[in-house]
Structure 1
Amino acid sequence: MHSQPHAIGIDIGGTNVRAACVDASGRILERLAEKTLRDGPALVARLVAMIRALDRPGVATVGVGVPGRVDARRNQVLSGGYVDLSTVPLAQTIERETGKRAFIDNDCNMALVAEVVAGVARGCRHVAMLTIGTGIGGAVMAEGAVLRGRCSAGQLGHVTVEAGGLACNCGRRGCVETTSSGTALGRHIAEAGLPAGTSADEILALARGGDLRAIRVVQAWAGPLRAAIDSIVASVDPELFLLGGGLGEAACAALEWAPALSPWYQCPVRSATLGDDAGVIGAALAGAEQGVRAS
């Protein structure tokens, strides 16, 4: 990666798109952020504009973290949830319009790469991660490599925690994304009769103070999340479990109301340290690495 000192990373979230120029150590040199557009072609046009705005001498690659199922080997988006780019030639358009080599992968895979290279999981080889935001993303690293399976393993936001629960964007019901995402937290808050816009930190503070409505909200949010974590730990046996994304730290704190019940399936759970920067850092690092391999 040293032959490619700078790369551009893009993280497409359900609410915001973040982009940054990043050096080989994972340090952000310059950043941009915009609201996520739901129209695929319009979103890609904005990505191209952001890449051009961040471009500088020496930048040859762009990594893009996409929510949903991605075939990284074929550089193709297979499906999406809150943002669906499966019908848009994302990598090809970026390469044609910018002259940069583009590498596409799932957004949580990118965030996990960043945490292992430059964050709290540095030095770990077996890590599982959930990113808590508008939806819930997931990724697994085994033996120091992202676990891909046939092409898109790691869709951990779609672990079932409530049989017959709410409908999910993936087409099934009761996924942890429907119970423990930021969107779900907003629903829990509304159902409890608390003011709209109450933040996760405010709910946690109320719960710590003994407010019964807040405690019920936290339990409704964190209980299914703990069930998902326990199931994932039982499946892949990581040395560390990370909660990232915009609500990762709050979700980690909320697990105080939903402790692990079985000693068989316990694993240290920590909040990711790179926050919302993890996606762009990981995307840039992964894109730069792919560029070196292809050269």
Structure 2
Amino acid sequence: MTDKKAYWGIDIGGTYAKIGCIVDGVFRMVQTLPTGESCKPETLLSSISDIVMEYDAVPAALGLGTAGLVDRSSGGTIRFSPNLPLWNNVQAGSILENTVGIPVVLDNDCNAFAVGAISSGLIPSQGLWLLVTLGTGIGGTIINQGAVQYGTGYSGEFGHMTVKEGGIPCPCGSNGCWERYAGRKALEWYYSTVTGKRLSPLEISLSASNGDLQAKEAFREYGRWVGLGLANLAKCFSPMGFFLAGGLSATTDHFKKAALQEYTSRCRHPWKVTV
């Protein structure tokens, strides 16, 4: 247990929940918990609370980021999360507040990441920029003049723009969504179709680094869809540039070339992508 003020950040994604804190300006990853489609909110939030309170009896602050549509005006309610189907209309912010005893700030995970990146200077405070997170799904944030743009409350759902009419069904209720072709499961599927094997993105990345031609082909197909989606966004927003984050952004070296080729074949906006 720490005897110093700790500032906590919780990231609830479609595959894992990551729990970390900052003490004396130093970030520490405390624990990672599995999530997934069968993840129950009451169970996970209870586990998160127990971990925080075991480490820190009096937390200084706690922020929670989660995938999906987050209603920030209602005490922190997750209205809809396609990759966490049991979390719809869950008041996650209020539940954690009641157990840890301090106010909890809840936002979409990509927006939460953007706020941190802006405050630390990673994303410029001038101009229009787009943040895209590549992971289990695809998240997005619109940043203008150093501020997150929420629109009527839920802007930035880039992963659910249609990129293929009549395409793969999506848990959001639509089909052909971008994240069905450029999310975690898509990369795994591209690899399995040519090998018959099911590997994780990390394993596919390691195989590609070791010269596995089939892994490289999977990344080429994945990169093509990343580039297509970025081209659509560039034509809609004409941003000064993109920032890529999320687990799959760590594999950019494997798909950047294919993404760039697809992007430049579809739009005239300059390729300015920072990872």
With the shorter chain as reference, the TM-score category is: 0.7 to 0.9
Q: Partner letter of residue 35 of structure 1?
A: P
Equivalence for 1:165 = 167
Equivalence for 1:257 = 258
The answer as to 2:55 corresponding to 1:34 is no
Q: Partner letter of residue 151 of structure 1?
A: G
Equivalence for 1:101 = 103
Q: Partner letter of residue 33 of structure 2?
A: E
What are the ranges of 5 or more consecutive residues in structure 2 without an aligned counterpart? Answer: none
| Cα drift, residue 88 of structure 1 | 2.4
Q: Deviations over 1:61-110 (max 9, x none)?
A: 21110111112233221101222422322111111111110111001111
Separation in structure 2 between the aligned mates of residue 214 and residue 96 of structure 1, nearest angstrom: 47
**How many corresponding residue pairs?**
262
Cα contact 2:227–2:258 (8 A) shared by 1? no
| Cα drift, residue 125 of structure 1 | 4.5
Separation in structure 1 between the aligned mates of residue 29 and residue 182 of structure 2, nearest angstrom: 32
The answer as to 2:206 corresponding to 1:202 is yes
**Shift in alpha-carbon separation, 1:56–1:251, aligned structure 2, 3 A:** same
The 5 A counterparts of 1:91-240 are 91-118=93-120, 120-123=122-125, 125-193=127-195, 195-197=197-199, 199-202=203-206, 204-205=208-209, 211=213, 213-240=214-241
Cα contact 2:140–2:158 (8 A) shared by 1? yes
Q: What TM-score do the two structures reach when normalised by structure 2?
A: 0.85
Separation in structure 2 between the aligned mates of residue 155 and residue 54 of structure 1, nearest angstrom: 34
Equivalence for 2:270 = 266
Q: Partner letter of residue 173 of structure 2?
A: G
| Cα drift, residue 134 of structure 1 | 1.6
Q: Which sits farther off after the overlay, 231-240 or 140-149?
A: 231-240
Cα contact 1:65–1:104 (8 A) shared by 2? yes
Q: Partner letter of residue 31 of structure 2?
A: L
Separation in structure 1 between the aligned mates of residue 121 and residue 145 of structure 2, nearest angstrom: 18
Q: What TM-score do the two structures reach when normalised by structure 1?
A: 0.80
Q: Alpha carbon RMSD of aligned pairs, Å? A: 2.4
Cα contact 1:132–1:251 (8 A) shared by 2? no
Equivalence for 1:8 = 8
Separation in structure 2 between the aligned mates of residue 48 and residue 178 of structure 1, nearest angstrom: 32
Q: Which sits farther off after the overlay, 66-75 or 110-119?
A: 110-119
Cα contact 1:77–1:86 (8 A) shared by 2? yes
Identity of aligned residues (%): 24
Separation in structure 1 between the aligned mates of residue 205 and residue 70 of structure 2, nearest angstrom: 32
What are the ranges of 5 or more consecutive residues in structure 1 without an aligned counterpart? Answer: 272-295
Helix, strand or coil for the counterpart of 1:164?
coil
Separation in structure 1 between the aligned mates of residue 6 and residue 34 of structure 2, nearest angstrom: 25
Higher relative contact order (CA 8 A, sep 6+): 1
Cα contact 1:71–1:151 (8 A) shared by 2? yes
| Cα drift, residue 215 of structure 1 | 4.5
Q: Partner letter of residue 33 of structure 1?
A: T
